[in-house]
Amino acid sequence: MGLRTIAGVNRREAHVIGTTLEGRYRIDSVLARGGMSVVYRGVDLRLDRPIAVKVMDQRFSGDADFVRRFELEARSAARIHHSSVVAVHDQGVDHTSGGEQVFLVMELVDGGTLRDLLRSQGTLSPAVALSVLEPVLSALDSAHRAGMVHRDVKPENILISRDGVVKVADFGLVRALADAKTTSDSVILGTVDYLAPEQVTTGETDARGDVYAAGVVLYELLTGAPPFTGDTPFSTAYRHVNDRVPAPSERVAEVPAAMDALVLAATRREQEERPADAAALLARLRETRATLGLSSVAVPGVVPPAGPTSAAPGSAAGADDGTIVTQAVGGLPPESPNPASGIDGPTVRTPLPAGGPAPARPPGHRATQALSRNELPGGPNDAAAGNAAHAAHLGGLGDRGDRGNRGRRGRRGKPGGKAGGLFSKASTRLIAMGVVLVLALLLWWWNSAQWTSVPALAGMEVEEAEDSLTAAELDARLVHVPHNDIAAGVVIDSAPDQGRRIRRGDDVRVRVSSGLPTVPEITPGISPDEATTQIEDAELEVAIDEELAEHSAEVEEGAVIRTEPGAGTELEIDSTVTLILSLGPPPVPVPDVAGSSRDEAFAAIREAGFEPYELEAEFSESVDGGDVIRTDPPAETLIETPGTRIGVVLSNTIIAPYVTGDRLRDVRQTIEDLGLELEVQQFFGGDNARIVGQFPPSGTRLRPGDVFTVNTF
């Protein structure tokens, strides 16, 4: 808000000056007047800082719908924190200063508007024009990312301080005024010179409507005038719908082709062919600057012009709310263009608060207007009604229009004729009027009564958003999704988005932030594909590092053991979560069964999860026959595969028995059973002889088939 005091105050303003709103905001002087509000310079007594206070006209104070919408939109605007956005500090309704005062507290900016800069310089060089538009797009990008649309981008809403700092004003207020002023979605609100075609034809807009307006502003910076002008606001709006915006070089030959391309890209009639939002147009702007070899330059500072003026919304030269409403039928006749401005665009007479003086409109000033689509070519009504409405506006309903009507009435014909004829005509007229009334009611119901608009929800707490939808007779369908920057429980956006016209009772899908995404709880043993789906559903990325795989006795090979970081960890969207996969059960060592009996060894091997089998027996100097010498693989070898066959080598060592004194017939069978070859050195007696000597002696370790010699007598 600018630092310029308007000389001369009316009775209502004098009553407000010197008061303190809500016991905190002292009103010191008038900065600017507009059709809908007066902006005062004041002081925040609590923080001891200068402020601009916009006080809405009292005709709105008693409108509960306006106050509610004003508060919602002001809260939304206050959530936009950006260096290039005029800060909204507070809003409220004061009940102590002679009636209800609906007000908005804003940052006080020392300077003027882009309109003031254009008025003083005429046109801007490409370098300066890009440096002006860059912070504007940056501010709009911040709003678009928060789900908000400005709807009224124009030079009057772009502030420039004495130091050349550029700021955008009045986010959200146009919408509040639109909803308060109209009971039908057939009304278009905006500044006609900057309206996107879809705003004219449907009343619906999104971020691409702001892109279009920014493109028109750039055209005006380069050429000194907007691309379309007309005798009436309606004719200008008609051209936005039906004509393409010309290249700036068609008016100023020195404009480079790259600047032409930037303007034409932003102002395409087809909404889907424009850059999707301010961020996309900002990227195009920077590409254009690089193509032209330009650098960012300082924006000329703006000193508030001297003398009383009435300014546009958020103007640093004094801030008019800028929402100037013309009635759709029976509006005031258009004023002639101000020849001093050098711009042919129309101005519109302003309905004023009671007792307020008529504001002086600065040359070249473009006013925000509410226009009926029914009066535009291609509007929802039939052609005859539309043409009649358009003609009524062109003719006006002031003194000049009344004279025209009287003249037409005088030419209708002479009174007279039979009474019956007069009665018949009157009856016919009444019937026709009744039919027209019924058709009008049906048309109203079709075009308005069953429709409503999606309110601005982005940035609201979810309960507040649900209340807003309920007030708009819409149902909320909440979808909770993670978000890096928006706190849990705050609305991200809606579908349809704000401003879209839908049937009452329809569902609106509201995306609510659940805060930073958290790593989900992954059940051990699920497949990597299942785990990936769960993690990606949480807006996180997945990585698998085979070098980090681990053995697990519980999780089969290839399945997921756990995640790194673990479940419940908060991460930013698209952060990476690593899956730790299983290599299967850990390797098991072959048990050491050397020296054990065969049965003991087989039991131990089976207990370890392997399958034992017997290999060829071997002689051992240390292991008795029938016991285990070794295994194959050897003891302590780590085996990863359960059920692996383990070979067992048994000892076939034979211990020489003690047979001295036994009879030969008894010893012969024993030696054969041991697997030895018996050699008998017999002197007398045959098989019944007794053994008197043996070799080798008892206890000697023998191999199967060795000779065992006995002496008998």
> Which CATH code fits 588-652?
3.30.10.20
Question: What are the E-state strand segments in 468-581?
Answer: 475-481, 491-495, 501-503, 507-513, 541-544, 560-564, 576-581
**In this structure, are residues 142 and 85 in contact, taking their beta carbons and an 8 Å threshold?**
yes
**In this structure, are residues 35 and 311 in contact, taking their beta carbons and an 8 Å threshold?**
no
The first and second tokens of residue 413, run together, are: 């014909």
CA 593 to CA 614: how far, in whole Å? 13
- Other Cβ atoms closer than 10 A to 268: 19
What is the percentage of the chain residues whose pLDDT exceeds 90?
53
Could you tell me the fold of the domain covering 655-712? Trypsin Inhibitor V; Chain A (3.30.10)
The mean of the pLDDT values for the chain is: 79
The string of pLDDT tens digits covering residues 141-156 is 999 998 889 988 999 9
The confidence score (pLDDT) of residue 265 equals 96
CA 654 to CA 700: how far, in whole Å? 8
**What's the CA angle centered on 96, arms 94 and 99, to 5 degrees?**
80
The string of pLDDT tens digits covering residues 55-74 is 988 777 777 888 887 887 78
CA 527 to CA 706: how far, in whole Å? 62
The string of pLDDT tens digits covering residues 155-173 is 999 999 999 999 998 875 5
Provide the sign of the torsion angle of the four alpha carbons 61, 63, 64, 67, taken in this order.
negative
Q: Does domain 11-106 have CATH number 3.30.70.20?
A: no
The answer to whether residue 26 scores a pLDDT higher than 90 is yes
The string of pLDDT tens digits covering residues 374-409 is 445 444 433 333 332 232 232 333 333 333 333 333
Q: Helices in 9-113 by DSSP H: which ranges?
A: 11-16, 58-61, 64-78
Which residue ranges make up each domain of the chain?
A: 11-106, 452-513, 528-581, 588-652, 655-712
CA 245 to CA 225: how far, in whole Å? 12
Report the candidate in 171, 174, 187 with the shortest Cα–Cα distance to residue 370: 187
The string of pLDDT tens digits covering residues 293-352 is 999 999 999 987 554 344 433 333 333 333 323 222 223 233 333 333 332 333 333 333
More confident residue, 31 or 519: 519
This prediction has a pTM of 0.48
The confidence score (pLDDT) of residue 347 equals 31
The answer to whether residue 124 scores a pLDDT higher than 70 is yes
> Which CATH code fits 452-513?
3.30.10.20
The confidence score (pLDDT) of residue 353 equals 33
Q: Helices in 448-489 by DSSP H: which ranges?
A: 462-471
Mean pLDDT over 272-299 rounds to 95
CA 255 to CA 233: how far, in whole Å? 28
The confidence score (pLDDT) of residue 361 equals 43
Q: Kind of pairing, strands 111-113 and 101-106?
A: unpaired
The confidence score (pLDDT) of residue 351 equals 33
The first and second tokens of residue 494, run together, are: 């809606």
**What's the CA angle centered on 312, arms 309 and 316, to 5 degrees?**
75
Mean pLDDT over 479-494 rounds to 92
CA 596 to CA 598: how far, in whole Å? 6
The residues annotated as belonging to the active site are 152
Please tell me if the domain spanning 452-513 has the same topology as the one spanning 655-712.
Answer: yes
Backbone angles phi, psi at 41, to 5 degrees: -85, 140
Amino acid letter for position 441:
L
The confidence score (pLDDT) of residue 449 equals 63
The string of pLDDT tens digits covering residues 464-473 is 999 999 998 9
The confidence score (pLDDT) of residue 192 equals 87
The answer to whether residue 419 scores a pLDDT higher than 50 is no
Which of 349-353, 416-420, 654-658 is the least confident region?
A: 349-353
Q: Which residues have a Cβ under 8 Å from the Cβ of 88 and sit 6 or more positions away?
A: 74, 77, 78, 104, 105, 106, 107, 171
Query: Does residue 428 sit in helix, strand or coil?
Result: helix
- Per the omega criterion (within 30 degrees of 0), is the bond before 308 cis? no
The string of pLDDT tens digits covering residues 228-248 is 988 888 888 889 998 999 999
The answer to whether residue 702 scores a pLDDT higher than 80 is yes
**In this structure, are residues 172 and 139 in contact, taking their beta carbons and an 8 Å threshold?**
no
**Confidence grade of residue 81 (pLDDT, cut at 50, 70, 90):** confident
Report the candidate in 91, 113, 84 with the shortest Cα–Cα distance to residue 3: 113
The answer to whether residue 187 scores a pLDDT higher than 80 is no
CA 622 to CA 78: how far, in whole Å? 93
CA 591 to CA 600: how far, in whole Å? 11
CATH number for domain 528-581, candidates 3.30.56, 3.30.450, 3.30.10, 3.40.50: 3.30.10
Mean pLDDT over 683-706 rounds to 88
Cα–Cα distances in angstroms (integers) from residue 289 to residues 39, 210, 297, 679, in the given order: 37, 21, 11, 114
Best mean pLDDT range from 183-187, 388-392, 540-544: 540-544
What is the percentage of the chain residues whose pLDDT exceeds 70?
75
The answer to whether residue 287 scores a pLDDT higher than 80 is yes
* Torsion on CA atoms 218, 221, 223, 228, rounded to nearest 10: 60
